Structure formats: structure tokens, C-alpha cells
Amino acid sequence: AGTGKFFVGGNWKCNGTMDSVTKLVADLNDAKLENDVDVVVAPPYIYLDKVKQSLTDLIEISAQNSWVGKGGAFTGEISAEQLIDLGCKWVILGHSERRHIIGEDDQFIGKKAAYALSQNLKVIACIGEKLEEREAGKTFDVCFQQLKAFADSISDWTNVVIAYEPVWAIGTGKVATPQQAQEVHAAVRDWLKKHVSAEVASFTRIIYGGSVNGSNCAELAKQEDIDGFLVGGASLKGPEFATIVNSVT
């Protein structure tokens, strides 16, 4: 950890029921969370309002996606304006599941980021390579290309956090080693310095995601350029998520 306030997001993905969400919120409300950490959870859309109404204000709410522009006749979509109306502060964009399962491309994701930011929705911008890309030595190329698409559409980085999530580490239990993650985080920061500005490179938080859990978080958190985490599976368990939030100390 090095840059800005440590940031931990919990991406609940397409998980949960009314009962399990009620229990998770109760566990999070009971948890002792380090004050000096930005904590955000991203429930599925249908539970956003319930979570917003019942969760401690110490934790902000994120959506897992948003529509690319102003709302209207877009069946099944949710707009940034609607998310803001609900009290949602953040949105996750460019998650690998949306890139590779749903088929969202760099340009579409970049447009989503620009639109969300224009509506004052803060953005968790995700990038990351697949296993075959890493094995082919293309990790930096892939990450920089995805980053460039964000950079092409973002003019003000104040409300952006970058999440590096290697696809091979997501939901696999195969966490990146602290060295592997640090190497990419440092390269991402360097890219920002060269292609955006030294100032943006120094204040933008770069968080790691991919099989983070209560046991591996402390070592990762010690790395200079790991400024927090985006947690999937382990964010569904309140006490373990609290351990990850508190791992910075």
C-alpha cells in the first residue's frame, strides 16, 4: 500500500437472496472496520436499495455495471442517473466477466466510464490479462490496451480507481503472488505517468483482484503499489471481508 487511502471493494457478482443479503449486511454492520479505508460493496442491482437502506454509512455502495448513456428505451439496462438517484456512489466497469462472457469491448467500456463520471458516479475501472495472454508474454500489452481505452475517455481521474484483475486469478483460488501483482501495478502506474500525467499516476489508487482472501491479503497489502483490493468470493462472508479491509494495518 502506498498511494492515497486504502480501498477495498466487495463485488458480490450475481450472488445472494433476500435472506443471505440481510445476513451479510448484518455481519458488515457488526464488523469492526479500520477507519482509514474506503470500503465499498457492489450488490446485484435488485438488492442495491435494500443494502443502501440497511447498511452502515461507513460503507459506500457500488453497482456492478451501468448503461453507456442516458436512460430511456434500453430494456434491461440501468442508467447512471438511476444509480445516483438511489444513493449509489460507484460503478464497476470493464470487469473481465463483462468483457469475456458478455462481450463488452474496450470502446464501449470507455464510453460507459465517461458517461458514469459525467453523472458523478465514481468508477472502478477493471483491467487484466487472460492466462494464455500471460503465458504468451502479453500481460503488459493487454493491460495497457485496456487502460488506454479508459484513458482515451477519461479527462478527470479524481473519481477513478483502477482494479488489476488477472483473469486466471478470478474465482480460481490461484491468487497472483505479491511480486506478480506488484510488477503489473508498478507498470500501470508508470504507464499513467507517461501517458496521462505524473500527478494522476501518483494519486490514482491501483487495487488488486483475483482470489483475495483473509489469508493472502496481508502480504499483498504490503506491496508498494497495491492500494487495496477488489474482492469477489470472500466478500460474501462478512468477517472475512472485514479481515481484508483491515489488512492494511
Within a 10 A sphere around the Cβ of 17, how many other Cβ atoms?
9
Q: Is 232 in the site for ligand G3P (CB under 6 A)?
A: yes
- Asked if 220 contacts 2 with a C-beta cutoff of 8 angstroms, the reply is no
Q: Does 231 bind ligand G3P (CB under 6 A)?
A: yes
* Ranges within 73-132 binding ligand G3P (CB under 6 A): 95
Size of the site for ligand G3P (CB under 6 A): 14
The nearest distance, CB 52 to ligand G3P, in angstroms, is: 20
Least CB distance to ligand G3P at residue 198 (A): 28
Residue 240: name the closest of 207, 206, 217 by CA. 217
Q: CA 215, CA 212: separation in Å to the nearest integer?
A: 8
**AA letter at 112:** K
Rounded (10°) angle between helices 106-118 and 139-153: 40
Q: Which is nearer to ligand G3P, 66 or 211 (CB)?
A: 211
Provide the β-strand partners of residue 62.
90
Site string (161-180) toward ligand G3P, x via CB under 6 A: ----x----xx---------
Instruction: Estimate to the nearest angstrom the gap between the alpha carbon of 78 and the chain centroid.
Output: 18
Q: Active-site positions?
A: 95, 165
Judged by CB under 6 A, does residue 210 bind ligand G3P? Answer: yes
Residue nearest to ligand G3P (CB): 232
Q: Are 51 and 61 in contact (CB under 8 A)?
A: yes
- Residue 162 · residue 125 · CB < 8 Å: yes
Q: Which is nearer to ligand G3P, 125 or 234 (CB)?
A: 234
Q: Which stretch binds ligand G3P (CB under 6 A): 65-73, 100-108, 131-139, 225-233?
A: 225-233
* 71 versus 171: smaller Cβ distance to ligand G3P: 171
- Near ligand G3P by CB under 6 A, which window of 115-123, 147-155, 217-225, 226-234? 226-234
Q: Does residue 230 belong to the site contacting ligand G3P (CB under 6 A)?
A: yes
Q: What SS3 state is found at 34?
A: coil
- Which segment (65-73, 138-146, 154-162, 232-240) binds ligand G3P by CB under 6 A? 232-240
Cβ within 8 Å of residue 150, ≥6 positions away: 94, 109, 110, 113, 125, 127, 160, 162
Task: Give contact residues for ligand G3P (rule: CB under 6 A).
Answer: 11, 95, 165, 170-171, 209-212, 230-234
